[in-house]
Structure 1
Amino acid sequence: MRRADRLFQIVQHLRGGRLVTARMLGERLEVSERTIYRDIADLQSTGVPIDGEAGVGYLMREGFDLPPLMFTRDEIVALVAGARMVRAFGGAQMARAAEEALVKIGAVLPEQEKARIARTEIHMPGWVVDDATRRSIDLLERAIEARDVLSLNYKDEAGKGSMRDVRPLGLWFWGKVWTLVAWCELRNDFRAFRIDRIAEAGASGRTFRPERGKQLTDFYRTWEAREQN
């Protein structure tokens, strides 16, 4: 969880007007009590009316509310365009999440800013990515986060298939084509797989840990070195 998100969650937990200990907050947010103490101190220094002390607990005085989100015109356009791009070209779950994010943003914007979302005339066709590819994108994205080794049935440009286990590292979008960047255990090297050529992808039942030389940052360094030569 990003620190900004954690600070927001602390404020939310303290809204009830009851005493909450640093231990309780730490358990809920999966951080140490020391981290909670620092976060509380930082919130207090910015004017958030939190009362209490370490070892006793904290509560927030009534009447405090977070200010409405403020975005510039260009920021709203960027958010709307990004959400619509994900809806058009991303996975099925990504598309739904993008729609929900726009609804949430619209709900907290000041009234005079809400109309800008509807007035943003930036659109993408929804037929470019088929349903099978959308499902694959979601599956691969979850595998990247969980560090699940995947078994792929992959077809090359000539249509020849091969089975291989890969460590999924990242997804790249090239306009109409998505690729999976992965460490291929068959080739013992990095490979980029076009998602529309993955005939089948399934969990191998194994997970992996980051290893030096086999991470996405290592791929970037290798790719940049090749581009410069």
Structure 2
Amino acid sequence: MGTSLRTLYRDIAALQGMGADIEGEPGVGYVLRPGFFLPPLMLSQAEIEALMLGMRWVSAFADRPLAAASTDALSKIEAVLPKTSRHGAGAVPLRVGPPISKASADEDLTDLRDAIRHERKLAITYRDRDGRESERVIWPFAIGYFTDGRILVGWCENRGAYRHFRTDRLI
């Protein structure tokens, strides 16, 4: 490809300096561990606006850990943007309205997301709109985030059907 070894070694050292999990040494070889992706180098103005709006929505409507993660992710994205785009990212004039209910802002749905990710069933207690409680065993597969609340979607072993459960009614 016409690339000198010196250039290759320098580029690998630069990637290692940026945090890439590359092991090895010159003359022996290198291994890039799974799970590392290089950040995109260029984003269009529309892509920056979409990211900003999406991150602002997640910050306003997701549960507490996801809201914090969106802020962290946004900082990382802004760090890799070219200087000319970085200023524009903060100035994106797209805003998200406030949540209808502040009660769900303190929810932590990490355990539900983990159960979905690891394909584990859950034993839950659910309170319906009339206040009746029922014990359920469900196989969760999605969480829906809405402006006025969240729902957990899963296969309910007790009912033998797909069901959705408002997360604020999980006990």
TM-score interval, smaller chain: 0.7 to 0.9
Aligned 8 A contact 2:104 2:149 in 1 = no
Distance 1:76 1:196, change over 3 A: same
Distance 1:15 1:121, change over 3 A: farther
Instruction: Return the offset for 1:97.
Output: 1.2
Instruction: Return the offset for 1:112.
Output: 0.8
Aligned 8 A contact 2:63 2:105 in 1 = no
* Secondary structure of the corresponding residue to residue 29 of structure 2: coil
Equivalenced residues, count: 151
Instruction: Return the offset for 1:83.
Output: 0.7
Matched residues in 2 for 1:167 and 1:98: separation?
Answer: 27
Partner residue, 1:111: 83
Distance 1:129 1:165, change over 3 A: farther
Matched residues in 2 for 1:94 and 1:182: separation?
Answer: 20
TM-score by length of 2: 0.75
- Say if 2:54 is the partner of 1:82: yes
Alignment of structure 1 residues 60-99 onto 2, 5 Å: 69-99=41-71
Larger RCO, structure (CA 8 Å, separation 6 or more): 2
Partner residue, 1:61: none
Distance 1:138 1:14, change over 3 A: closer
1:123-176 deviation per Cα after TM superposition (whole angstroms, max 9, x unaligned): 3326745357621x2221111111221111101111111111111111122331
- Say if 2:160 is the partner of 1:160: no
Partner residue, 1:171: 143
Matched residues in 2 for 1:193 and 1:145: separation?
Answer: 18
Given the alignment, which residue of 144, 156, 169 partners 2:116?
Answer: 144
Unaligned regions of 5+ residues in structure 2, if any? 1-14
- Say if 2:139 is the partner of 1:134: no
TM-score by length of 1: 0.57
Aligned 8 A contact 1:89 1:129 in 2 = no
Aligned 8 A contact 1:89 1:128 in 2 = no
- Say if 2:168 is the partner of 1:191: no
Aligned 8 A contact 2:156 2:162 in 1 = yes
1:171-198 deviation per Cα after TM superposition (whole angstroms, max 9, x unaligned): 1223312111111111111111111211
1:176-224 deviation per Cα after TM superposition (whole angstroms, max 9, x unaligned): 12111111111111111111211x2xxxxxxxxxxxxxxxxxxxxxxxx
Instruction: Return the offset for 1:17.
Output: 5.6
